Amino acid sequence: MAHRVVKLEVFLKRCKSHMQCSVSGGRISPSVSEAELANPSKALETEIATLRSRLERRNVKISKVSESYINYFEQYQEYDPFLRTPEPSNPWISDSQDLWELEKQTKEVHPRRVRRWAFSLQELLRDTAGREQFVRFLEKEFSAENLKFWDAVQELKQVHSKDVPLKVEETWNEFLAPDANFPINIDSKSYELTKKNMETPDRWTFDEAAAHLYHLMKNDSYQRYLRSDMYKEYLNGTKKK
């Protein structure tokens, strides 16, 4: 936008140095009004002023951006091996993979890992132990099919192109067909759109339905899990052996 302002200012100076800026014999452009043709320099001055005001106006306050960065840093600094000395040692420095192996364990989970599960649903599902616990929680609430469907949609994006139609058909039969083994509950809009997408199946056939269910898990099931005794036991390190 700043480059456009400079070009307009140069053009305006050239126009003012000539007696006539318009092209004789007709309009310059169908979008140019009669008033702009009569006084082109005035129209350019108005456009330059408008563009300058846009350049000076910030859509996002710098203070808000800075606050977001600070909050992110404070939240994750405990898990940055370059800022905090991990136990075991930093695998990027010592070449020891003990830390990564410890992070893979699902039986005895350190509260440090469990605290990270509360950052977001994505963090919970990324952790092997966290995913297992969340699946158990969903099974108790009789809604485990939501996560199964979401996982199936993610797997669909990874299969070979020649296997996509078959995978789409299997996913539909398992979760959305009238006699599905794990029927999911989605809104009518998502269902109708997905049903229409089945006419030309591809990797993104179920994206609308998957996004709907992920939103439900994030704002409903996930929030209840964080308030559950199951999560609090892990967080306090009191899980029964």
Helix, strand, coil abundance in the chain, percent, nearest 5? 65, 0, 35
Query: Does residue 102 form part of some domain?
Result: no
Is the preceding omega at residue 88 within 30 degrees of 0, hence cis?
Answer: yes
Structure tokens at 97: 């993979």
Q: The dihedral of CA 95, 101, 103, 104: what is its sign? A: positive
- Give CA–CA dist 100/77, Å, rounded: 17
Residue 7 in domain: no
Q: d(Cα 183, Cα 231) in Å, to the nearest integer?
A: 27
The boundaries of the domain holding residue 147 are 111-235
- The mean pLDDT value for 197-221 works out to 95
Mean predicted confidence (pLDDT) in 112-124: 92
pLDDT at site 5: 55
Counting the structural domains of the chain, the total is 1
Asked whether 40 and 18 are in contact (CB, 8 A), the reply is: no
Please identify which residue in the block is written with the tokens 């070009």: 7
- Report pLDDT for 10: 62
First to last CA, the chain: 63
Average pLDDT, the chain: 81
Instruction: Quickly state the pLDDT bin for 73 (edges 50, 70, 90).
Output: confident
What would the pLDDT profile of 122-162 be if each residue is shown by its tens digit?
A: 999 999 889 999 999 999 999 999 999 999 999 999 999 99
Residue 178 has pLDDT above 70, yes or no: yes
Compute the distance between CA of residue 127 and CA of residue 21 in angstroms, rounded to an integer. 67
pLDDT at position 139 is 95
Report if residue 200 sits inside a domain: yes
What is the model's pTM? 0.65
| Range in 41-50, 163-172, 222-231 with the lowest mean pLDDT | 41-50
Angle between helical axes of 144-156 and 207-216 (0-180°, round to 10): 140
Decide if 186 is inside a domain. Answer: yes
Query: For residue 83, what pLDDT is reported?
Result: 74
| Three-state DSSP string of 108-134 | CCCHHHHHHHCCCHHHHHHCHHHHHHH
Span of 18-27, 161-170, 180-189 with lowest mean pLDDT: 18-27
Q: Does residue 189 sit within a domain?
A: yes
What CATH number did the domain enclosing 146 receive?
1.10.167.10
